[in-house]
Amino acid sequence: MAMVCLTDFEEYAKEHLSKATWDYYAAGADECCTRDDNLLAYKRIRLRPRILRDVSVSDTRTTVQGTEISFPVGIAPTAFHCLAWHEGEMATARATEALNTCYITSTYSTCSVEEIVAAAPNGYRWFQLYVYRDRKLSEQIVHRVEALGYKALVLTVDVPYTGKRRNDIRNQFKLPPHLKVKNFDGVFQETAGPEEYGIPANTLDPSISWKDVYWLQSITRLPIIIKGILTKEDAELAVEHGVQGIIVSNHGGRQLDGGPASIDALSEIVDTVQGRIEVYLDGGIRTGSDVLKALALGAKCVFIGRPAVWGLAYKGEEGVREVLQILNDEFRLSMALSGCRNVAEINRNLIQFSKL
């Protein structure tokens, strides 16, 4: 079967992954309202296409943190890629390197940061970080990725505690014995205590606060991007604390159920930031026109999570490349059909909200 759109990859992954693995990737918190609204919100936004604009030549390139990428779609940090494909994050890294875009490596990867760099030495990468009760754990991994040439830290701030994902509880989800959270291999003593997604429970620090941004700035020279902001108040605080970017994100609907869809939170954050730092978005991107809508509302770049994993499940590196290429092609077409020749021409005049 020809893979024509991202939902084709979703259907393939659902059919071919084990139930527990599929449920883990698909999970939302509680009743999954926010997870589902991440998708539905795009359908409430309409485009206002301009015509007769000579779109014979189009250019999808943009920059993030001063680095040029081929189009404004990167890979969001998602855990446990080896559950979907034996080469896991190494395959993902090679795919993003081939398409010259940004890959945010998850702390919870099933390949180590060193293996990922070795697999795609010329790739453009950021590293997603959690803050642990044992600050030394966070500090050590920051120094590792900085030495390896990662270009930014993505501090995830919406997980003081892990959201309640009902199917993971029902399935008693655990990593299979042959897989580990590779970045912490050998760090934790073997204990019979409860685990949460591959590491001992209660490792994350729920006391994390804005002062930890200053702490992080004191131990690294890498740009810091905060992932998980959904309000203008927190966007303003992020700017005041000197970070270099915000990823508007509700963690794929996996944390607080009942919060806004990412795309619905974007405008107020862009309006608050006023260009002082870059604003990105993840959550619910499934088509090129979704990308266009997010950019029209002020996102500099968007990141995809689940679709990358579906691509892996389909055909490893080649599958991820296909997912990215389909989005790139759809984005280019949506741009042209809306009268935009390059990313700079995309603005809020392209958008109207449907009156449902």
Per-residue pLDDT of 275-321, as tens digits, reads 999 999 999 999 999 999 999 999 999 999 999 999 999 999 999 99
Dist. CA 280–CA 301, nearest whole Å: 5
Question: Is residue 122 situated within a structural domain?
Answer: yes
Contacts of 27 (CB under 8 A, 6+ apart): 35, 165, 166, 167, 168, 254
Q: Supply angle C-alpha 178, 179, 184, rounded to 5.
A: 130
Q: Known binder of ligand: residue 306?
A: yes
In a domain, 2, yes or no: no
Residue 130 lies in a domain: yes
Residue 1 inside a domain? The answer is: no
Domain count for the chain? 1
Write out the H or E segment, with its range, that includes residue 352: strand 351-353
- Please report whether residue 176 resides in a domain: yes
Is residue 3 in some structural domain?
no
Domain that holds residue 189: 9-353
- As a whole number of angstroms, the distance between CA 324 and CA 308 comes to 8
Residue 257 annotated as binding site: no
User: What are 226-258's pLDDT values in tens digits?
Assistant: 999 999 999 999 999 999 999 999 999 999 999
212 assigned to some structural domain: yes
Give catalytic residue positions: 251
Predicted confidence band at 189 (pLDDT cuts at 50, 70, 90)?
A: low
Say what the pLDDT of residue 281 is.
Answer: 98
Q: Distance (Å, rounded) from C-alpha 17 to C-alpha 12?
A: 8
Q: Check the annotation: does 54 bind a ligand.
A: no
Amino acid 190: pLDDT = 61
DSSP type of residue 231: S
CATH code of the domain covering residue 107? 3.20.20.70
Q: Is 125 annotated as a binding residue?
A: no
Q: pLDDT tier at 12 (50, 70, 90 boundaries)? A: very high
**What pLDDT sits at residue 282?**
98
